[in-house]
């Protein structure tokens, strides 16, 4: 529902989504400003990405005078969930614990991560 068509959002498009999740609605120019700080894109590129996102129904437009204001149509949470699940399914046979175990073994977990996870766990099991 939050992802009507299930169309995939590409890496570059995702950067644009992040801008819109941070603040919206925004005009194309504003999105470009926000995004150009990290990626070095030209305004033209940002406009293309916005069009594609609109086509994918991931972003909605609302006319303001003669311009458009763009806003996300899919929630960040839903996107994160989809991507996370896809990874867990593809690489760890759907087991989130598998992913966790892997991160643990690879020592990819900081002490802060461990503390935070421990407290979340406690929450969940209470």
Which positions lie near DNA, rule CB under 7 A?
A: 8, 10-13, 27-29, 39-45, 47-49, 51, 65-68
Residues in Cβ contact with 80 at an 8 Å cutoff, skipping those fewer than 6 apart? none
Select the binding partner of residue 13 from DNA, a second copy, none (C-beta < 5 to 8 A, by kind): DNA
The residues in 37-76 that bind a second copy, with binding defined as CB under 8 A, are none
Which of 12, 43, 54, 109 binds a second copy (CB under 8 A)? It is 109
Between 37 and 65, whose beta carbon lies closer to a second copy?
Answer: 37
Cis ω before 25 (30° cut-off from 0) = yes
**Taking the complex as a whole, how short is the minimal distance between the CB of residue 6 and a second copy, in angstroms?**
15
**Residue 22 in contact with residue 34, Cβ under 8 Å?**
yes
Dist CA 88 CA 82 (whole Å): 10
Dist CA 126 CA 116 (whole Å): 16
**Taking the complex as a whole, how short is the minimal distance between the CB of residue 85 and a second copy, in angstroms?**
6
14 touches a second copy (CB under 8 A): yes
Given the structure tokens 């896809």, which residue do they identify? 86
């Amino acid at each position: 529902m939050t992802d009507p068509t299930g169309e995939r959002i590409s890496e570059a498009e995702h950067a644009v989504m992040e801008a819109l999740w941070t603040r919206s609605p925004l005009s194309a120019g504003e999105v470009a400003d926000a995004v150009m700080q990290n990626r070095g894109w030209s305004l033209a590129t940002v406009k293309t990405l916005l069009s594609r996102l609109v086509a994918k129904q991931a972003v909605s437009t609302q006319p303001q005078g003669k311009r458009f204001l763009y806003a996300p149509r899919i929630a960040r949470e839903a996107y994160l969930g989809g991507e996370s699940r896809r990874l867990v399914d593809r690489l760890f046979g759907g087991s989130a614990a598998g992913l966790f175990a892997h991160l643990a073994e690879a020592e990819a977990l900081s002490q802060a991560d461990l503390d935070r996870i421990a407290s979340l766990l406690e929450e969940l099991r209470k």
